[in-house]
Amino acid sequence: MPEGFSEQVALVTGGSRGIGRAAAELFAAAGVKIAITYKSRKPEADHFVEEVSRAGGNALAIQADFAESAAPAVAVEAVVKEWGRLDILVNNAGLTRDTLVMRMSEADWDVVMQTNLRAAFLASKAALRPMLKQKYGRIVNVSSLAGVTGNAGQANYSASKAGLIGLTKALAKEVGSRNITVNAVAPGFIDTELTSGLPAELLERARQAAAIPRIGTPADVAPAIVFLASREAGYITGQVLGIDGGLPI
Protein backbone atom coordinates (compact mmCIF):
# COMPACT_ATOMS: atom_id res chain seq x y z
CA MET A 1 0.00 0.00 0.00
CA PRO A 2 1.34 3.50 -0.77
CA GLU A 3 2.67 5.47 2.18
CA GLY A 4 2.57 9.14 2.98
CA PHE A 5 -1.10 9.58 3.84
CA SER A 6 -0.38 11.03 7.29
CA GLU A 7 -2.90 13.70 8.35
CA GLN A 8 -4.73 13.51 5.03
CA VAL A 9 -8.50 13.70 4.58
CA ALA A 10 -10.47 11.85 1.92
CA LEU A 11 -14.07 11.85 0.71
CA VAL A 12 -15.41 8.81 -1.12
CA THR A 13 -18.86 9.36 -2.58
CA GLY A 14 -21.13 6.34 -2.58
CA GLY A 15 -18.81 4.72 -0.07
CA SER A 16 -21.22 2.53 1.87
CA ARG A 17 -20.91 -0.42 -0.53
CA GLY A 18 -19.06 -1.91 -3.48
CA ILE A 19 -15.97 -0.28 -4.92
CA GLY A 20 -16.40 2.85 -2.82
CA ARG A 21 -16.56 0.88 0.41
CA ALA A 22 -13.47 -1.15 -0.51
CA ALA A 23 -11.51 2.02 -1.28
CA ALA A 24 -12.69 3.73 1.90
CA GLU A 25 -11.54 0.77 3.98
CA LEU A 26 -8.07 0.92 2.42
CA PHE A 27 -7.82 4.66 3.04
CA ALA A 28 -8.82 4.13 6.67
CA ALA A 29 -6.22 1.38 7.04
CA ALA A 30 -3.59 3.82 5.75
CA GLY A 31 -4.48 6.32 8.47
CA VAL A 32 -6.54 8.69 6.31
CA LYS A 33 -9.43 10.54 7.92
CA ILE A 34 -12.19 9.18 5.75
CA ALA A 35 -15.67 10.46 4.94
CA ILE A 36 -18.19 8.54 2.87
CA THR A 37 -21.53 9.53 1.45
CA TYR A 38 -24.55 7.29 1.24
CA LYS A 39 -28.02 7.73 -0.19
CA SER A 40 -30.17 5.35 1.83
CA ARG A 41 -27.92 2.70 3.39
CA LYS A 42 -27.53 4.22 6.83
CA PRO A 43 -26.90 0.93 8.68
CA GLU A 44 -24.02 0.02 6.35
CA ALA A 45 -22.57 3.55 6.58
CA ASP A 46 -22.85 3.64 10.38
CA HIS A 47 -21.21 0.22 10.61
CA PHE A 48 -18.27 1.47 8.55
CA VAL A 49 -17.80 4.46 10.87
CA GLU A 50 -17.96 2.17 13.90
CA GLU A 51 -15.37 -0.21 12.43
CA VAL A 52 -12.94 2.60 11.66
CA SER A 53 -13.43 4.13 15.11
CA ARG A 54 -12.81 0.80 16.84
CA ALA A 55 -9.54 0.52 14.91
CA GLY A 56 -8.48 3.94 16.17
CA GLY A 57 -9.26 5.88 12.99
CA ASN A 58 -11.48 8.78 12.08
CA ALA A 59 -14.54 8.36 9.87
CA LEU A 60 -17.64 10.30 8.95
CA ALA A 61 -20.80 9.22 7.12
CA ILE A 62 -22.81 11.86 5.26
CA GLN A 63 -26.31 11.24 3.91
CA ALA A 64 -26.51 12.70 0.41
CA ASP A 65 -28.63 12.01 -2.65
CA PHE A 66 -26.38 12.94 -5.56
CA ALA A 67 -29.38 13.19 -7.87
CA GLU A 68 -29.92 16.52 -6.08
CA SER A 69 -27.72 19.35 -7.33
CA ALA A 70 -26.93 20.76 -3.89
CA ALA A 71 -25.72 17.47 -2.41
CA PRO A 72 -22.10 17.33 -3.67
CA ALA A 73 -21.14 20.76 -2.34
CA VAL A 74 -22.91 20.09 0.96
CA ALA A 75 -20.93 16.86 1.38
CA VAL A 76 -17.61 18.58 0.67
CA GLU A 77 -18.46 21.41 3.06
CA ALA A 78 -19.29 18.89 5.81
CA VAL A 79 -15.87 17.26 5.45
CA VAL A 80 -13.98 20.55 5.51
CA LYS A 81 -16.01 21.70 8.52
CA GLU A 82 -15.18 18.45 10.36
CA TRP A 83 -11.46 18.25 9.63
CA GLY A 84 -10.42 21.61 8.17
CA ARG A 85 -9.15 20.32 4.84
CA LEU A 86 -9.76 17.91 1.96
CA ASP A 87 -6.88 16.18 0.20
CA ILE A 88 -8.58 13.39 -1.74
CA LEU A 89 -11.90 13.18 -3.57
CA VAL A 90 -13.09 9.90 -5.08
CA ASN A 91 -16.11 10.43 -7.31
CA ASN A 92 -17.65 6.98 -7.06
CA ALA A 93 -21.39 7.53 -6.51
CA GLY A 94 -23.39 6.12 -9.40
CA LEU A 95 -26.47 4.26 -10.52
CA THR A 96 -27.96 2.55 -13.55
CA ARG A 97 -31.32 2.69 -15.29
CA ASP A 98 -30.76 0.15 -18.04
CA THR A 99 -32.95 -0.21 -21.10
CA LEU A 100 -32.72 0.25 -24.84
CA VAL A 101 -32.71 3.84 -26.12
CA MET A 102 -36.09 3.36 -27.81
CA ARG A 103 -37.59 2.52 -24.42
CA MET A 104 -35.53 4.91 -22.27
CA SER A 105 -37.42 7.76 -20.66
CA GLU A 106 -35.96 11.23 -20.32
CA ALA A 107 -36.20 10.76 -16.55
CA ASP A 108 -34.02 7.64 -16.73
CA TRP A 109 -31.49 9.51 -18.85
CA ASP A 110 -31.48 12.55 -16.59
CA VAL A 111 -31.10 10.80 -13.23
CA VAL A 112 -28.13 8.74 -14.47
CA MET A 113 -26.38 11.77 -15.97
CA GLN A 114 -27.07 13.82 -12.84
CA THR A 115 -25.83 11.20 -10.39
CA ASN A 116 -22.89 9.79 -12.36
CA LEU A 117 -21.54 12.85 -14.17
CA ARG A 118 -23.02 16.17 -13.04
CA ALA A 119 -22.52 15.31 -9.37
CA ALA A 120 -18.86 14.48 -10.03
CA PHE A 121 -18.44 17.88 -11.71
CA LEU A 122 -20.10 19.64 -8.77
CA ALA A 123 -18.14 17.69 -6.14
CA SER A 124 -14.87 18.37 -7.95
CA LYS A 125 -15.69 22.07 -8.23
CA ALA A 126 -16.41 22.26 -4.50
CA ALA A 127 -13.33 20.20 -3.58
CA LEU A 128 -11.05 22.42 -5.62
CA ARG A 129 -11.59 25.33 -3.24
CA PRO A 130 -9.69 23.75 -0.32
CA MET A 131 -7.31 21.91 -2.66
CA LEU A 132 -6.27 25.11 -4.44
CA LYS A 133 -5.78 26.82 -1.09
CA GLN A 134 -3.60 23.91 0.06
CA LYS A 135 -1.83 23.70 -3.32
CA TYR A 136 -2.33 19.96 -3.11
CA GLY A 137 -5.06 17.51 -4.04
CA ARG A 138 -6.00 14.22 -5.64
CA ILE A 139 -9.22 13.57 -7.54
CA VAL A 140 -10.01 10.04 -8.73
CA ASN A 141 -13.09 9.46 -10.87
CA VAL A 142 -14.63 6.00 -11.07
CA SER A 143 -15.57 5.61 -14.72
CA SER A 144 -16.24 2.26 -16.42
CA LEU A 145 -15.31 0.09 -19.36
CA ALA A 146 -18.80 1.02 -20.57
CA GLY A 147 -17.56 4.59 -20.95
CA VAL A 148 -14.80 3.38 -23.28
CA THR A 149 -16.60 0.77 -25.38
CA GLY A 150 -20.31 1.43 -24.78
CA ASN A 151 -22.80 -1.22 -23.69
CA ALA A 152 -26.07 -1.98 -25.45
CA GLY A 153 -28.94 -1.19 -23.13
CA GLN A 154 -26.78 1.26 -21.17
CA ALA A 155 -26.68 4.38 -23.33
CA ASN A 156 -27.25 6.66 -20.35
CA TYR A 157 -24.70 4.88 -18.15
CA SER A 158 -22.13 4.62 -20.96
CA ALA A 159 -22.55 8.31 -21.82
CA SER A 160 -22.16 9.36 -18.19
CA LYS A 161 -19.01 7.30 -17.75
CA ALA A 162 -17.54 8.54 -21.03
CA GLY A 163 -18.27 12.05 -19.79
CA LEU A 164 -16.29 11.31 -16.64
CA ILE A 165 -13.28 10.46 -18.80
CA GLY A 166 -13.59 13.78 -20.61
CA LEU A 167 -13.96 15.61 -17.30
CA THR A 168 -10.87 13.85 -15.98
CA LYS A 169 -8.69 14.84 -18.91
CA ALA A 170 -9.88 18.45 -19.06
CA LEU A 171 -9.69 19.11 -15.34
CA ALA A 172 -6.22 17.57 -15.12
CA LYS A 173 -4.97 20.23 -17.52
CA GLU A 174 -6.63 23.01 -15.54
CA VAL A 175 -5.19 22.23 -12.11
CA GLY A 176 -1.93 20.35 -12.68
CA SER A 177 0.18 23.45 -12.01
CA ARG A 178 -1.31 23.62 -8.49
CA ASN A 179 -0.08 20.15 -7.52
CA ILE A 180 -3.53 18.66 -8.01
CA THR A 181 -3.87 15.49 -10.06
CA VAL A 182 -7.03 14.14 -11.67
CA ASN A 183 -7.23 10.54 -12.86
CA ALA A 184 -9.85 7.89 -13.52
CA VAL A 185 -10.23 4.16 -13.19
CA ALA A 186 -12.37 2.26 -15.70
CA PRO A 187 -13.45 -1.03 -14.13
CA GLY A 188 -14.81 -3.79 -16.31
CA PHE A 189 -17.28 -6.35 -15.01
CA ILE A 190 -17.01 -6.14 -11.23
CA ASP A 191 -19.17 -8.12 -8.80
CA THR A 192 -21.26 -5.31 -7.31
CA GLU A 193 -24.95 -4.44 -7.07
CA LEU A 194 -24.66 -2.43 -10.29
CA THR A 195 -23.76 -5.58 -12.22
CA SER A 196 -26.10 -7.92 -10.36
CA GLY A 197 -28.91 -7.18 -12.80
CA LEU A 198 -26.89 -7.91 -15.92
CA PRO A 199 -27.77 -11.10 -17.85
CA ALA A 200 -25.82 -14.14 -16.71
CA GLU A 201 -24.92 -14.89 -20.33
CA LEU A 202 -23.27 -11.48 -20.71
CA LEU A 203 -21.21 -11.96 -17.56
CA GLU A 204 -20.15 -15.42 -18.69
CA ARG A 205 -19.06 -14.09 -22.10
CA ALA A 206 -17.05 -11.39 -20.36
CA ARG A 207 -15.43 -13.94 -18.08
CA GLN A 208 -14.42 -16.12 -21.00
CA ALA A 209 -13.12 -13.18 -23.06
CA ALA A 210 -10.90 -11.77 -20.32
CA ALA A 211 -7.21 -12.59 -20.14
CA ILE A 212 -7.83 -13.25 -16.45
CA PRO A 213 -10.92 -15.44 -16.76
CA ARG A 214 -13.06 -14.29 -13.88
CA ILE A 215 -15.34 -11.45 -12.87
CA GLY A 216 -13.56 -8.80 -10.83
CA THR A 217 -14.25 -7.77 -7.25
CA PRO A 218 -14.19 -4.38 -5.51
CA ALA A 219 -10.90 -5.47 -3.93
CA ASP A 220 -9.39 -5.59 -7.43
CA VAL A 221 -10.22 -1.91 -8.01
CA ALA A 222 -9.70 -0.25 -4.63
CA PRO A 223 -5.86 -0.47 -4.52
CA ALA A 224 -5.62 1.36 -7.85
CA ILE A 225 -7.82 4.16 -6.53
CA VAL A 226 -5.69 4.46 -3.42
CA PHE A 227 -2.46 4.51 -5.43
CA LEU A 228 -3.72 7.26 -7.75
CA ALA A 229 -4.69 9.25 -4.65
CA SER A 230 -1.25 8.89 -3.10
CA ARG A 231 1.69 11.27 -3.02
CA GLU A 232 3.68 8.66 -4.94
CA ALA A 233 1.37 9.16 -7.94
CA GLY A 234 2.14 12.86 -8.11
CA TYR A 235 3.39 12.77 -11.72
CA ILE A 236 0.40 10.85 -13.03
CA THR A 237 -2.56 12.93 -14.19
CA GLY A 238 -5.20 12.90 -16.89
CA GLN A 239 -4.97 9.12 -17.15
CA VAL A 240 -7.62 6.41 -17.36
CA LEU A 241 -6.59 3.07 -15.87
CA GLY A 242 -8.54 0.09 -17.16
CA ILE A 243 -9.20 -2.57 -14.53
CA ASP A 244 -10.97 -5.24 -16.53
CA GLY A 245 -8.92 -8.43 -16.38
CA GLY A 246 -7.63 -7.84 -19.91
CA LEU A 247 -10.91 -7.69 -21.77
CA PRO A 248 -10.37 -6.91 -25.47
CA ILE A 249 -11.51 -3.40 -26.38
Condensed to tens digits (0 to 9), the pLDDT of residues 140-180 reads 999 999 999 998 999 999 999 999 999 999 999 999 999 99
Task: Name the catalytic one among 38, 136, 157, 235.
Answer: 157
Q: What is the pLDDT of residues 89-141, one digit of tens each?
A: 999 999 999 999 999 999 999 999 999 999 999 999 999 999 999 999 999 99
Q: Is 157 a catalytic residue?
A: yes
Note whether 128 and 110 are within 8 A (CB).
no
Confidence of residue 3 (pLDDT cuts 50, 70, 90): low
Nearest to 41 by CA among 62, 27, 22, 71: 62
pTM, entire model? 0.94
Domains, in order of start, for the chain: 9-240 (3.40.50.720)
The mean of the pLDDT values for the chain is 94
Distance of CA 140 to the CA centre of its chain: 7
State the burial class of residue 239 (Cβ atoms within 10 Å of its Cβ: 0-12, 13-18, 19+): middle
- 135 phi, psi to nearest 5 deg: 60, 40
